[in-house]
Amino acid sequence: MFRRLLTLAAGATLASAATLAVAAPAQAAVVDVTFGPLSIGGYCQSRYPTSWIGFYESSGLRCYAGSGSPLQYVGTGDPYLACKYLTPDVVMSALRGASDALVCRVIR
């Protein structure tokens, strides 16, 4: 009888320890990831096949084509969707960075 009680108590202790180990959440971090014009261009090309470069300008995310100066405006894009396209992380928001870069605030 004592042996059964000891085995039951040991099993309950192990089960509660295993539950605590599994239930501990992973630590997530909020990180800003910056994408330049050519990376933005990858997103732009998925929307407009002739475009190859993009900028997050004051008027929004804009896609351009052409091989000379001036570049030819092709269309606009959504900064948040561009972040979703460019990173597998969970996207919180899209911000305009220095030199018309796209800054994606993500959770890793």
Q: Residue 16: what pLDDT?
A: 52
21 is a domain residue? no
Both structure tokens of 31: 């990180």
101 is a domain residue? yes
> What is the pLDDT tens value at each position of the chain, 108 positions in all?
445 444 445 454 545 544 445 556 778 999 999 999 999 999 999 999 999 999 999 999 999 999 888 999 999 999 999 999 999 999 999 999 999 999 999 999
CA distance 63 to 108: 28
Range of the domain at 96: 27-107
4 is a domain residue? no
13 is a domain residue? no
17 is a domain residue? no
User: What is the count of structural domains for the chain?
Assistant: 1
94 is a domain residue? yes
Q: What is the pTM of this model?
A: 0.74
User: What is the Cα gyration radius of the chain?
Assistant: 25
15 is a domain residue? no
49 is a domain residue? yes
